[in-house]
Structure 1
Amino acid sequence: MFGRRCDDACRPCRKIDLTFPEFKSTQQTELSALLPDIATVSNPLDYTTPIWGHAEMTYPVFAKAISAIEADTAVLVQDYPAAEIDSSKVYYRNDAMAFARASKEQGLPAIICATLPENMDLETRHLLIEKGVAPMQGIHEALNAIRDSADWNQARSRILSEKPEYLLPSYPSGEQKVMPENDSKRWLINHNFNVPNGKTVSPHKLGEAAIEVGYPVALKMISPRLVHKTEAGAVVLNLKDEEVLKLAVEKMRIDVTAYDADAASELFLVEAMSPNPVAELIVNLRQDPQFGAALVLGSGGVLVELMADTATLLLPTSPADIIRALKSLRVRRLLEGFRGRPAVDIPKVAEEIYKLCIAYQNHGKTITEIEINPLFVYRDTVSAIDALIQVPVDT
């Protein structure tokens, strides 16, 4: 990347996984000989004002830099002045033509980008297109276009090299019912998916159950009508002894009755509190009426609606596809070890999610939806903290 304001592009590049290849020491020496003394050889490269607009000086710089490193795209940042402001447009054009020539000779896709959309006039855009250069208006727009083009090219190559599997059929969905959380988790356990250690009991056996799973515990009221337990007051966390457990039961009865009297129940799930995870995900498997079976992955827990950070895969999928989907999420930074925190074994997490996909596919006619939120992700394992499974009413 070249330009006097190209440093502005560095920060957004890091956020979208675009990288700047570095020059080797010998290449830095060769470039230094072509640049003014005040210039620093780096990528991005500010070739500085003394040679700005002098094509006989900037062309060798462009040519040497483009040939020196292995890059996928060359970008020159230019902000063209309005005609009524000054007459320096010719200098911008000189550098633009030198850049276009150097890029074409090296066979590298070339972009000239204005930092703001209004900083490139129509005449200049037409000229750049004639020279085989893509005019881009706005740093963020240009960088996102580069990323998306690269992603598309990689996806195309992958699709052409791998024989795709047939998509799963879309089963007609009639009236559905929600399985209680304890039954949903029992289904997960039966399909070798981790859930917290817990017991489903009546109120008079809560103390015994809590001792068995081990304090501190989480307490949840079980009812098909309690889909969103937090809003109903049907879940309390980190209960440390039997006294606070009993108080929590009484308060929960009152809160749930106020929320929905028909949802109140005398069946409770007591679970051991899970350690804090590295990250939280949402995993949803469902039947899309248009496309059939699909997997949705995203940032989980309280971040679901706040972040709106999701990726969708049609089934059948593969561990490799799931890895790519996880790495496309913003929560990826947590998975890869954010600010010194432990990194997650992403392939292992993908295998666990893939295992769930296979179980869902094998029960496509009897399970209409599986949602786990949050899925606690640890370094080399996962645990379904909350689970919701929907089935046809006649099941």
Structure 2
Amino acid sequence: MIRDLSRLLRPRSIALFGGGWAVNVVAQLKKSGFDGDIWPVNPKRADILGVPCFASIDELPGAPDASFIGVNRDATIDVVERLSAMGAGGATCFASGFLESESETAGGADLQARLIEAAGDMPILGPNCYGLLNYLDNVTLWPDQHGAIPVERGVAIVAQSSNIAINMTMQARGLPIAYVVAAGNQAQIGASAIASALLDDDRVTAIGLYLEGFGDIRALESFAAKARARGKPVVAIKIGRSDKARAATMTHTASLAGNAAAGSALLRRLGIIEVETIAVFLETLKLLHAIGPLPGASVCSVSCSGGEASLMADLSGGTNLEFTEFAASQRAALKAELGPIVTIANPLDYHTFIWGDVPRMTRVFSMVAAESFDLTVFILDLPRADRCDPSGYQCAVDAIIAAKDQTGARIAVLASLPENMSDAFTRQFLAGGVAVLHGMSEGIAAIGAAIEAGRMLAVAPEPLILVQDTAGRSSILSEAASKQALSDYGVRIPLSVQAQSIDELIEETAALSFPVVLKGVGLAHKSEAGLVVLNILDEPSLIDEARKMHIATPEFLVEEMAVGGLAELLVGITRDPTGTFLLTLGAGGVLTELLADTASLLLPASRTDIQSALKGLKIGRLLEGYRGKPAADIGALTDAVLAICAYAQAHAERLVELEVNPLIARAADAIAVDALIRLNDAEQNKEASP
């Protein structure tokens, strides 16, 4: 059900319930200059900060557009029910002790269910959340201090942590914040639905998500598609990578965190830019607000210091930033302007010969920005005003803004230290259309994210494969059965036979060609148990090895050995708790644990996605041909992976996990020499369900 959040997000009347927390909200509303109606409901007070109180909800002059409910959890349910009955526009539920506390205090889940029922069609935020801040319309439905100021346009932030949301409002980085909405437990309305509603405000330029869990994946998918259609980029921090973080998440909001690799793959699939720190989150949003997603990766760095130029180049190593060289004509023009001592290169150190000469600095800066770079970045740290005089740096500020005005290029200023760009200078740059980045590492990461945002906006993904994650009994297919199941979908496997005795083994292997591989059947981790023997060249050797192995296993699998391998790969598909299927591609065989070289995608995966993931692996160079060896048949290798995915998609309702390790890449084909498939025992689980 899609609920209309417009009255809640942009109210003209606000009701407040509770004691001290309601007082705080009134204080914030008065401080922000909210010019709508404020209706405190409190039978014990005549007024709150000069605003007259109503003795009961029945005395309200009408149905409020928004309400702050700051009473205990049991009373919250009653207030929500009465507001819903009178046609109120929505409410924020501050109280905790609902589902997020179920592991500590019994009854929280039941109370949350009752709260949802009481709300009916009326939208509610939370419970266990602070509320919302709308800096476009001076709506501060928030029971604590916050640090942002009114704006005409800006970014919207949806956070599952109210404290993190507060911290973000305190930033001194010049980020224009339009909305901050705390999602809390998301009992009725999830973060995706909130973010989707915020997209409808044309004054919102980009969306930031602080996520502890994904909730409704289809809702997130729908929001991402809507953001793409509106051309508004989305940035996210997804916590819960460590065991400790996941435990903290569960006690905080009861959100299903999911597997970290699957979470990252999900965000990437949906075109949502994932970052790891709050600083990079804010810098990325700021760059996207000021400039938008970058159309390419070509970046020019400009500074008056060789040290800054070198550090910029070093810190950008391994990122997607490309410092393309100047065109010959431009290099000549810059050389003529800057003189023989200055080396014309990107990153550019223009020295200090032109410092203080604003017209000349403007000419040089315009020459640089006029080139077809996707972003021109000026490195500029300004003196602190409390101990120094920053006026001597005004020439650089004026010249950069003038160059922006003359060229219309995408220009950003980057301070190598976050504190070396004051709020006053930040606002001056932003007013001139120049983005400002605080901190070199953070700034480079933000530029990389903006490049990625540009790439992601160009691709509309297929709908995800989603199944309900049902716990129950499962069974593992034998290696032979697993490989045969995959072979039915087009995966090439070695010719093989199974035998339950040495005599049967001798009879059955007559149809095989040597060399062969002998495997014991029925035990996991066969290699560690000594139940795999490779490269057996003749029948006597096979019989000898089988006799040795017969002590540990009653059954054998013999298969023709796959020769001519160029690289061994792992292909794994697992069902994530979120209901998605994670495809893992990586170095296989003995290198799986040693290299930890993997890439993750979600199903369905396209041929292009698979080939890009394979190319990005450390062993990707082996696939391309390394030190005189032939290249692997990437087309055949991709076909094998797609066939494995086809099996997974066809058996999605039952598949728990699937692993092919190794899938051997060869010059003319790819062949799966070991496989494992685990399936839910559908009938037994059906009988066991209530």
The answer to whether TM tops 0.5 is: yes
Letter in 2 for 1:178: I
After the TM superposition, which of the residue ranges 287-296 and 197-206 deviates more from structure 2?
A: 197-206
For residue 107 of structure 1, the aligned residue among 387, 403, 409 is: 409
Letter in 2 for 1:98: A
**TM-score, with length taken from structure 2:** 0.47
Letter in 1 for 2:502: P
Q: Secondary structure at the match of 1:34?
A: helix
CA drift at 1:389 = 0.9
Residue 497 of structure 2 is matched in structure 1 by 199
Matches of 2:617 and 2:339 in 1, distance apart? 43
CA drift at 1:388 = 0.8
Residue 153 (str. 1) matches residue 450 (str. 2): no
Residue 233 of structure 1 is matched in structure 2 by 530
Residue 59 (str. 1) matches residue 362 (str. 2): yes
Higher helix share: 1
8 Å Cα contact 1:166-1:316 kept in structure 2: yes
- Alpha carbons of 1:234 and 1:12: their partners in 2 closer, same or farther (altered >3 Å)? farther
8 Å Cα contact 1:176-1:391 kept in structure 2: yes
- Alpha carbons of 1:24 and 1:371: their partners in 2 closer, same or farther (altered >3 Å)? same
CA drift at 1:234 = 2.1
1:171-219 superposed Cα distances (whole Å, 9 cap, x missing partner): 6352111111111111122221112343333434556766754443332
**Structure 2 unaligned blocks of 5 or more:** 1-300, 684-690
Matches of 2:498 and 2:674 in 1, distance apart? 14
Residue 270 (str. 1) matches residue 559 (str. 2): yes
For residue 185 of structure 1, the aligned residue among 483, 490, 494 is: 483
CA drift at 1:138 = 3.8
8 Å Cα contact 2:660-2:676 kept in structure 1: yes
CA drift at 1:64 = 0.8
For residue 322 of structure 1, the aligned residue among 589, 599, 610 is: 610
Q: Secondary structure at the match of 2:465?
A: coil
Q: How does 1:108-123 map to 2 (within 5 A)?
A: 108-114=410-416, 119-123=417-421
CA drift at 1:346 = 4.5
Q: How does 1:292-371 map to 2 (within 5 A)?
A: 292-336=580-624, 342-344=630-632, 346=634, 349-371=637-659
Select the structure with the greater relative contact order (CA < 8 A; seq sep ≥ 6): 1
Letter in 2 for 1:73: L
Percent identical pairs in the alignment equals 32
Matches of 2:451 and 2:628 in 1, distance apart? 30
**TM-score, with length taken from structure 1:** 0.77
Matches of 2:424 and 2:588 in 1, distance apart? 46
Residue 260 of structure 1 is matched in structure 2 by none
Structure with larger Rg? 2
CA drift at 1:103 = 4.4
Q: Secondary structure at the match of 2:535?
A: strand
For residue 73 of structure 1, the aligned residue among 350, 362, 375 is: 375
Residue 261 of structure 1 is matched in structure 2 by none
Letter in 2 for 1:218: V
Matches of 2:363 and 2:449 in 1, distance apart? 30
For residue 222 of structure 1, the aligned residue among 498, 517, 521 is: 521
Residue 96 of structure 2 is matched in structure 1 by none
8 Å Cα contact 2:414-2:440 kept in structure 1: no
CA RMSD of aligned residues (A): 3.7
Q: Secondary structure at the match of 2:589?
A: coil
Residue 170 of structure 1 is matched in structure 2 by 468
8 Å Cα contact 1:53-1:94 kept in structure 2: yes
CA drift at 1:290 = 1.8
Letter in 2 for 1:315: L
Residue 282 (str. 1) matches residue 584 (str. 2): no
Matches of 1:334 and 1:8 in 2, distance apart? 32
1:308-352 superposed Cα distances (whole Å, 9 cap, x missing partner): 444433333332333344455454454455566655565554343
8 Å Cα contact 1:129-1:135 kept in structure 2: no
Give the number of aligned pairs. 374
8 Å Cα contact 2:312-2:440 kept in structure 1: no
8 Å Cα contact 1:103-1:110 kept in structure 2: no
8 Å Cα contact 2:598-2:617 kept in structure 1: yes
8 Å Cα contact 2:584-2:600 kept in structure 1: yes
8 Å Cα contact 2:659-2:675 kept in structure 1: yes
Matches of 1:229 and 1:183 in 2, distance apart? 16
1:22-76 superposed Cα distances (whole Å, 9 cap, x missing partner): 32222221221122212222222222354456554443222212212x2222223
Residue 20 (str. 1) matches residue 329 (str. 2): no
Residue 248 of structure 2 is matched in structure 1 by none
1:73-97 superposed Cα distances (whole Å, 9 cap, x missing partner): 222345678899x979777664465
CA drift at 1:7 = 3.6
Matches of 1:340 and 1:285 in 2, distance apart? 33
Matches of 1:388 and 1:229 in 2, distance apart? 12
Matches of 1:173 and 1:389 in 2, distance apart? 17
- Alpha carbons of 1:37 and 1:213: their partners in 2 closer, same or farther (altered >3 Å)? farther
Q: Secondary structure at the match of 2:348?
A: coil
